[in-house]
Chain A
Amino acid sequence: MDEKRLHRRAFLKSMAVAGLAATCPHLIGCGGEKEKVAGGTTVLRTMKGAARQDIGLAIARGSDDPKKLVRAAIDAVGGIERFVRKGDTVAVKPNIAWSRTPEQAANTNPLVVETVVEMCQDAGAKQVNVFDYPCNPVRRTYRLSGIEEAVKRAGGDIGYMDERKFEDVSIPEGRSIKSWKMYADAFDADVLINVPVLKHHSLARLTMGMKNLMGLLGGNRESIHPNLDQKLADINTVIKPHLTIMDAFRVLKAHGPNAGTPDDVILARHLIVGTDPVAVDSYGATLFRDLTGQQLSGEDIGYIRIGHEMGLGEMDLARVEQQLIDVA
């Protein structure tokens, strides 16, 4: 009898310990330390690191080696050291949305991502994290895109996004959406580098830098599509990459953003660097026009036009300083 009672006590004790362990995250008040919006469940987030620098646009073109294009364009704007300082944590957001090979041009070219990671490492970054939230199964997508291997080669870190790190971030200037689940690492990094790819997209017409940030969103992402242009501009009022490096080495001209036949892929050999997301995308639109002959400019792309109106950047390329670098 005695023995039995002792067991029961031991059992109760272990239950108490387990219960305490389970609740202790709440007891110490972990999570949600960011500034809460009064009366709501959303948090206000702003980008870490230095304010956006004005560097105009640098366009490198002509080389068969994407790595050379990246280096040439970055060098033209004063080197990556202008953005990445020793000890910085850098977040690199390429487009790794689809389980497709680099030749299909549905994702950012892996060599472009590799070069960006290498340069950040050389500039003394403490950590370079590469991530995206793919539309297709993540394991195959990371592999088939070639980006997982490329990042590892360059010594960066590439991991699957962690669903716990999505925060309901307030969008004070938002006109269509007032808050959305966004990935905390994009805000916590000292530098956020957006590395999109230029390609066709039926609804948005083109997907470039501003749309690439959709990969940092959680929640019901699909419901961004109705009234897409305004919602993209809204998101860009909160997530503001310090640098955008747009891959236009191969350009998918039709059946984007993920399909297409080999004939739909143009070997364009371009790469655009800038800090103004609207200007980069606007340049992308004119480049797409030159490549395909379609009548198109920044003004024709809804989110570029709205972004310009909302003061997110300059759509009129005549007012943007441009450097054209021909790379052998």
Chain B
Amino acid sequence: MMSPEHKARPILRLSNVRRVIQVVVFVLFLGILIRTVSPVETWLPPDFFLRMDPLTAVSSMLASRNAVDFFPKFVPALVVVVLTIILGRFFCNWVCPLGTTIDIWDRLLGRKRKRRSEPRIKHSRGLRNIKYYLLGAFLVAALFSTQIAWLMDPIPIATRSYAVVVYPYLTFAARAVLDPLWQVPVVSGISEPIYDFLKQYVLFPNPEIGYQTITALHHISFLFFGLILVLSFLDRRFWCRYLCPLGAMLGLLSKVSFLRWVVNRDTCTECNRCVHECKTAAIADKAGGYRPQECVECFNCQDVCPEDAIGFNFQSPVGSIRDERKAIPAGLDLSKRRFLESAVVAAVTVPLLKLKVSDRDFPPWLIRPPGALPEEEFLDRCVRCAKCMKVCPTNGLQPTVFEAGLEGMGTPKLVPAMGYCDYECNSCSQVCPTGAIRSLSLEEKKETKIGIAYFNKNKCYPWNENLDCLVCEEHCPTPEKSIKFWDTEVLAQETNKLIVVKRPYVVTETCIGCGICEKKCPLKDEPGIRVTARGEDRHPERYSGGRGV
């Protein structure tokens, strides 16, 4: 028998076609993500990959009890479902950016050589089933109106990990490496054109900020992303095999798929190479044992088979299930009891998540982006893909930790100290896949109130130190200015003489809460003007209307 390593195999084999497409799709994913900048000009919708995700679609639809809003947008997910019924779980190994990330990580670790060894986790049925129970639990939670599928939905994970973990890190690293080189003779001739290109097309294009700063939740995202990769030490594609709820969803569809793995039993020597090669334990430890719901169509088994005994054929799924039952004990064997248990756990968790961790009904610093739905509906829909944070040109949108309660962890809020809501920008409402931030025209956006500014007169220059300043007034973007001022005669503390100071005030009716006043206040320690979510349009009941109408 010839060793498979030395066997001449055609270049144009299925596994190579898969590899090429996988790389192209991954590059496309990163390209769209990097070019999700304001103003949005990508030729594919910036949320295209999220729209391909049926789990994102179903969980948001269930949680928000709304299907109409999702229909035209999530057609790509429908296409994925149909293709999965025909081809099986191809999505996981041809498209999924998280799957590709894990494959690349595996390759970087040089685990290719170690593949021939026995799988580390032998009796893995119980583990494999975890993902189905998780899927069940997420959907039950969604039925109870809590969107938590985002926690383990791979497309939002990949999107937010690259957007808020990898991207800021790379931006920082690029600057740390390239910045010092700019005055080095010869070297800068090479490094500067590269740097210029990166600044133009890749890095965060705001010299005021330089790179995207990050907050506490980025570290949590980082740990989670890291954990997914570290799990690969235990087993290849540990995540996809045992945990991924989207994999489970597509797996259930693949149960009836037409494309089937077949082995020629006349030539198969039961060498078990394919069993060990299989990334997702789709081939049982017995000739002919096949779990269609696990197979991700990588076609690597064909590469390692010394006898060329493995093929993929289109068959009627009904027939094959019957055959399979006869031939293999290793089908999908879910326990009804476990399902019930996970459903109960989910149902019990929902109220736990909805418990307020704050002593207020109305967290004052929770400023949602313009177009955000009322809080409950917003949380039902937000899948934490972080696209809005990626696109925000001022870096003002940041993920919450506990400000919005446990249920609202990782959702976007405006942090004016970091960046304000640019008057001429509606990009976050253009990139939200689920309409948690509803699409706003620029005209609508300019009139959307997300909060109101107030002066901290103990800090503000004209109020506290009798100095003319008016930076806030200068930057205020509303047509007739929502910060105005009076020439006011005041007694100067130092000289005990009357002087005239321009003292500003906020016109609460027209202030939209964009926060540029807070960001630009020259008092950088504690600004003399701040914004709270008071008066936001999405919650008129929260607005204590002052004088009233």
Q: Do A and B bind each other?
A: yes
Instruction: Flag if A202 contacts B470 (CB, 8 Å).
Output: yes
Contact with A along B184-210 (1 / 0, CB 8 A): 110000000000100100000111101
Known contacts A25-B181, A28-B184, A202-B485; A139 and B38 CB within 8 A of each other: yes
Instruction: Flag if A137 contacts B425 (CB, 8 Å).
Output: yes
Q: Which residues of A contact B474 (CB under 8 A)?
A: 201-203, 225, 257-258
* Interface hits, B466-489 → A, CB 8 Å: 467-471, 473-481, 485
Nearest residue (CB) in B for A201 is: B474
A287 at the interface (CB under 8 A from B): no
A203 contacts which of B184, B205, B502, B520 (Cβ < 8 Å)? B502
Chain B proximity of A6: nearest CB distance (Å): 19
Q: Which residues of A contact B207 (CB under 8 A)?
A: 133, 138, 160-163
Instruction: Flag if A222 contacts B422 (CB, 8 Å).
Output: no
Instruction: Flag if B479 contacts A255 (CB, 8 Å).
Output: yes
B307 at the interface (CB under 8 A from A): no
Task: Report, as a range, how many residues of chain B touch the other chain.
Answer: 35 or more
Instruction: Flag if B184 contacts A140 (CB, 8 Å).
Output: no
CA A257 to CA B184, docked complex, whole Å: 41
A40 at the interface (CB under 8 A from B): no
A17 at the interface (CB under 8 A from B): no
Instruction: Flag if B424 contacts A226 (CB, 8 Å).
Output: no
Most buried by A among B468, B473, B502: B468
Q: Which residues of A contact B183 (CB under 8 A)?
A: 25, 30-31
Q: Which residues of B contact A258 (CB under 8 A)?
A: 474-475, 477
Chain A proximity of B151: nearest CB distance (Å): 32
Contact with B along A213-227 (1 / 0, CB 8 A): 000000010110111
Instruction: Flag if A226 contacts B480 (CB, 8 Å).
Output: no
Instruction: Flag if B480 contacts A259 (CB, 8 Å).
Output: yes
B467 contacts which of A163, A226, A260 (Cβ < 8 Å)? A226
CA A272 to CA B75, docked complex, whole Å: 58
Nearest residue (CB) in A for B199 is: A160
CA A226 to CA B179, docked complex, whole Å: 33
A164 at the interface (CB under 8 A from B): yes
Instruction: Flag if A259 contacts B479 (CB, 8 Å).
Output: yes
Instruction: Flag if B424 contacts A225 (CB, 8 Å).
Output: no
A15 at the interface (CB under 8 A from B): no
Task: Report, as a range, how many residues of chain A touch the other chain.
Answer: 35 or more
B383 at the interface (CB under 8 A from A): no
A22 at the interface (CB under 8 A from B): yes
Known contacts A25-B184, A164-B179, A226-B461; A259 and B393 CB within 8 A of each other: no
A292 at the interface (CB under 8 A from B): no
A14 at the interface (CB under 8 A from B): no
Instruction: Flag if B480 contacts A135 (CB, 8 Å).
Output: no
CA A222 to CA B519, docked complex, whole Å: 10
A41 at the interface (CB under 8 A from B): no
A163 contacts which of B210, B424, B465, B475 (Cβ < 8 Å)? B210
Chain A proximity of B110: nearest CB distance (Å): 14
* Interface hits, A189-231 → B, CB 8 Å: 201-203, 220, 222-223, 225-228
Q: Which residues of B contact A138 (CB under 8 A)?
A: 205-208
Q: Which residues of B contact A260 (CB under 8 A)?
A: 479-480
Instruction: Flag if A99 contacts B480 (CB, 8 Å).
Output: no
B423 at the interface (CB under 8 A from A): yes
Q: Which residues of A contact B113 (CB under 8 A)?
A: none
A291 at the interface (CB under 8 A from B): no
Which residues of B does A touch, CB under 8 Å? 37-39, 179-185, 196, 199, 205-208, 210, 393-394, 422-425, 461, 465, 467-471, 473-481, 485, 502, 520-522, 524
Instruction: Name 9 extra pairs, CB < 8 A, besides A138-B207, A261-B479.
Output: A99-B422, A136-B424, A163-B207, A202-B474, A203-B469, A226-B467, A259-B477, A259-B481, A260-B480
Q: 10 A-B residue contacts at CB 8 Å? A: A30-B184, A99-B425, A135-B475, A138-B205, A202-B502, A225-B471, A258-B475, A259-B477, A260-B480, A261-B480
